[in-house]
Copies of this chain bind each other. A is one copy, B any other.
Amino acid sequence: LRSRYVLARTLATANVSPFAALDTFADRHLGPDNNETTYMLKKLGYDSMDAFVAATVPAHIRIPQDHVTNDTIPSLSESELIQRAKALGRENKLFKSYIGMGYHNSVVPPVILRNVMESPAWYTPYTPYQPEIAQGRLESLVNFQTMVMSLTSMDIANASLLDEATGAAEGMVMAFVASHQKKRTFFVDKHVLPQTISVLRTRAKGFGINLVVGDVLADLREEAARKDVCGVLLQYPDIDGTINDYASVVESVHASGGLVVCATDLLALTMLKPPGEWGADIVVGNSARFGVSLGYGGPHAGFFACTEKLKRKMPGRLIGRSKDATGEPAYRLALQTREQHIRREKATSNICTSQALLANMAAMYAVYHGPEGLTRIARRVHAYTQILNTAAQKYGFKPQNKEFFDTLTFDASNIPGRAHAVHAAAAAKGVNLREIDDLHVGVTLDETVGPKDIVRLVNVFAAAGPDNHDPVTWSDLEPTETLSLPSTLRRESKFLHHSVFNTHHSETEMLRYIYHLQSKDLGLVHAMIPLGSCTMKLNSTTSLMPVTWPEFSAIHPFAPIDQVKGYRQIIQELESDLCKITGFHACSLQPNSGAAGEYAGLSVIQAYHESRGEGHRNICLIPLSAHGTNPASAVMAGLKVVPVKSLPDGSLDIADLRTKAEQHKDNLAAFMITYPSTYGVFEDGVKEACDIIHQNGGQVYLDGANLNAQIGLTNPATCGGDVCHMNLHKTFSIPHGGGGPGVGPICVAEHLAPFLPTHPVVEVGGDQGIEAVSAAPFGSASILLISWAYIRMLGGTGLKKSSQLALLSANYMASRLSGHYALRYKNTNGRVAHELLIDLAEFDKSAGLKVTDFAKRIQDYGFHPPTCSWPTSTCMLIEPTESETLEELDRFCDAMIKIREEAEDVVTGKQPRDNNVLKNAPHPQAVVISDIWNRPYSRETAAYPVPWLREKKFWPTVSRIDDVYGDLNLICDCPSVEETVDAQ
């Protein structure tokens, strides 16, 4: 096999015309070359790929050969793609946006842009479920949590949510749950962002919450008197820029037993009294103005903070400090979505993939600027806002804000049509303002505003009649800085005093900090990450490059449609490609994670039932093997989960399904199924199962996490689904970012298309569409470019080949590992799908070795462990993807086989059960270099169990994390200055 060292790699396209482009993406994306493919097929006993696929994918769900080819989805070479992206980028107009509404321009510090955002060391790792090989981004996410806690003055903050609007929705649900789901009214101030209100409306529906939108200062008293208010949501500063003193609101809400949720702005909080100091219970927002680009709406890291009392109910991921097996301090995921999944239908939040990469960028921004730097940025933004406030009044615009930070609202009603005139003048100068209504104009400033910008802005107001004003210059303005805030609203408390925010302020030090953290994290830059269900494949540089071009990154999500023609073209092509791939009719790109897609899809199904007068349908059948997000999403969509059993061979128990479908036929809303199943097999019964559901009035939701197994071979529509989500961060190559961003669009059959999610500001979705599911109309728009590029470079033919090779690679691994490990499920031809499940239960019995022991030992071999204990607690789920070479597949199998031998020594008693290379794994440097060594195996056995580790070894940086200790001692911020000093 080592023959690949001596064989020239054969390029997939070796026989094409000498005139064809040569930088064809398939040649770079696909791991196995033609020789390797032939070798693997032969090993498995097949003459051709077609024969192999025929044995793997059931015939009755196969789609015609010509459905997904370069004729239906054309293929561009890498440089052609870049040219096309450039051309489309030019069709976006780079207006300067002062629209605000939760979105701000920001200066991305170049050192962070290049070395975090654009660095595969940061964007390729997985969510840090394996803390021993993830201490770098765990530390960075703790910085994020600390930053949020410190700026908001709250007790605890999580490691990011998807955006501000869904964060507010989580806050609402938390308030509802805190009332034991008794108080059903949630009061939203009408000065909250419209996209937030829209998302709350969608979410309130599922939970049966009564959403009241009103003026919190004027109308709340009455509502509160009704004692049914579980909470209120305030925006601070509000959408118009006004900063209110909410003390009396807090008092009355608390008095009646409700919670106060506050949506806020981290930059403003450097100057404003933080919500934690005036009594907010939950604080949410968008951290993007800390060095993350607009990106036409995202991805941005939402944040979520709450009081001590509420901490165990926090949605999303929480990083905590714990210690390792040697007592050294170490970080870990303290509350995991995976743990929440265990709650399944009792969960009230489905968030899984979040926005880790963007959270890390925001945290790095705070690390780089420090409290002093952030304060200076805020004061500067405020100072410019004051100039504009003074100047606009001179031209007769009536200011509507008594107090403000960076946002101003003007009444332009003194002259008819004046608001329109302002916007026209703005457009003429390449500027976007907030179009409020016929009488009011809004402006939000940010850190990118300098003298030239403010002069241009003032002249926009000057130009909007009635008199002719000479254009002003900088010297005409009155740049006097007076802190305009009354002391009751002013922040007095210090923030970000932790040493990490006060150390790395030179670019050199910042760069070293970034590199130091990344040196602790295993990513695709090191080795394969064979996480089942996660599809950790090549994230190509070409597909990532356009994302950070200003033509795409500097666009406000609410920019007028004629400024975003390039984006719209890409979005349209992507939607169309995804429809072709899934076999469906229409697409919504709004959901920004797989879980959000599930929730959106189920809500669409519900809207469909309602439209037919069947709104009472509320039963959702879900196999026990389903991912935890499935039941959680169902609950959030207002459904009751009824589990369906599996047979011993791993396939769905069709009889059980039929029984339950018929039993609930009057109320059957939906069935959720993952295909190929989470056990990694293409089940024969999928179509039959879907028919049963349809016969009983239900709709079929197909969880598309495993779509990488299907493309060009079958599709969700053909399998019998009505709607599916895709994880673009799996199948379509958006990098996982160490825990996000993700994108989870849904495709739907024609009858569901009218119900696709809409948006309150930008026209999208179906004509009877549900309200928004994300803050931005197209979710994490800028990273859609990645999947668009991926699809357009591979083309239909390459996409299909990818799926074929994903299947082949998994089956090759299954064949190499079987005999050594118990392969749990396969189809009647002995074939798995694109992943395989091995069962380690026997080792627990024979040697006391658990799945975790194997997983941690795999780290010592320089690999990320496969998915552990899911979907079955004693198993590992292994997914290679199409991007790994035969050499890498073999290297991993060799490691697994060697570990099997190591386990055998424990089974046979050669090594003690409680003190062996598996139980003590992983072995960081400090352990194997320690002067003291009294283990029953050697240092070299610990560190170098196979020879290639001597040349290339990735090191875990801590010993095995003590989860129990971490759970008992939930500490989620950075070490304080005192702790830092003590540690030295």
Contact = CB atoms under 8 A, between A and B. Distances in A.
Interface in A501-519: 502-503, 505-512, 515-516
A27 B479 CA distance: 24
Nearest to A928: B929
A934 interface: no
Nearest to A376: B22
B8 A371 contact: yes
Which of A8, A107, A542 counts the most chain B CB atoms within 10 A?
Answer: A8
A551 to B, nearest CB: 12
B18 A515 contact: no
A538 B506 contact: yes
**Number of chain A interface residues as a range:** 35 or more
Interface in A366-393: 370-373, 376-377, 379-380, 383-384
A952 B2 contact: no
Interface string A856-900: 000000000000000000000000000111011000000000000
A472 interface: no
B11 A372 contact: yes
A6 to B, nearest CB: 5
A27 B377 CA distance: 14
A78 interface: yes
Given A481-B18, A926-B950, A509 B885 contact: yes
Nearest to A510: B28
Contacts of A538: 506-508
Contacts of A981: 2, 5-6
Given A22-B373, A507-B29, A930-B940, A115 B110 contact: no
A377 B22 contact: yes
A50 interface: no
Contacts of A560: none
Nearest to A450: B21
B885 A110 contact: no
B953 A503 contact: no
A454 to B, nearest CB: 9
A512 B887 CA distance: 13
Given A503-B5, A939-B931, A11 B373 contact: yes
Contacts of A527: 512
Contacts of A499: 5-6
A892 B506 CA distance: 18
B110 A883 contact: no
A828 B503 CA distance: 36
A343 interface: no
A980 interface: yes
A33 interface: yes
A930 to B, nearest CB: 7
Interface in A31-62: 31, 33
B372 A10 contact: yes
Contact of A542 (B110, B118, B380): B110
Contacts of A488: none
Contacts of A925: 925, 943, 953
A428 to B, nearest CB: 21
A977 interface: yes
Given A373-B11, A373-B22, A929 B943 contact: yes
A512 B719 CA distance: 38
A915 interface: no
A482 to B, nearest CB: 10
B380 A18 contact: yes
Contact of A883 (B370, B448, B506): B506
Contact of A502 (B8, B14, B111, B114): B8
Interface in A110-140: 110-111, 113-115, 118, 120-121
A984 B2 CA distance: 9
Nearest to A16: B376
Contacts of A503: 4-5, 9, 887
B79 A107 contact: yes
Contacts of A10: 372
Contact of A22 (B22, B27, B82, B380): B380
Contacts of A952: 516
Interface string A513-544: 00110000000111100000000001011100
Contacts of A170: none
A218 interface: no
Contacts of A883: 506, 508
A121 to B, nearest CB: 7
Contacts of A115: 120, 541
Interface in A581-600: none
Which of A121, A377, A511 counts the most chain B CB atoms within 10 A?
Answer: A511
Contacts of A931: 938-940
A804 to B, nearest CB: 16
Contacts of A984: 2, 5, 947
Interface string A97-119: 00000000001011101110010
Contacts of A18: 376, 379-380, 383, 481
Contacts of A447: 22
Nearest to A524: B508
Contact of A23 (B107, B379, B542, B980): B107
Given A29-B507, A120-B115, A509-B885, A451 B107 contact: no
Contacts of A947: 984
A929 B925 CA distance: 9
A489 to B, nearest CB: 19
A968 interface: no
A372 B30 CA distance: 17
B27 A505 contact: yes
30 contacts: A2-B984, A6-B977, A7-B502, A8-B370, A8-B497, A10-B372, A11-B376, A18-B383, A19-B481, A21-B450, A22-B373, A22-B380, A22-B447, A27-B505, A28-B506, A31-B508, A78-B110, A110-B542, A111-B540, A114-B118, A115-B541, A503-B887, A506-B885, A512-B524, A515-B525, A516-B952, A925-B943, A925-B953, A928-B929, A929-B940
Interface of A: 2, 4-11, 14, 17-23, 27-31, 33, 78-80, 82, 107, 109-111, 113-115, 118, 120-121, 370-373, 376-377, 379-380, 383-384, 447-448, 450-451, 479, 481, 497, 499, 502-503, 505-512, 515-516, 524-527, 538, 540-542, 545, 883-885, 887-888, 925-926, 928-931, 938-940, 943-944, 947, 950, 952-953, 977, 980-981, 984
Given A508-B884, A509-B888, A512-B526, 12 more contacts: A5-B980, A8-B502, A11-B373, A19-B380, A22-B373, A22-B377, A80-B450, A82-B110, A110-B540, A111-B540, A506-B538, A929-B944
The 7 closest A-B pairs by CB, nearest first: A110-B541, A28-B507, A515-B525, A18-B383, A18-B481, A9-B505, A931-B938
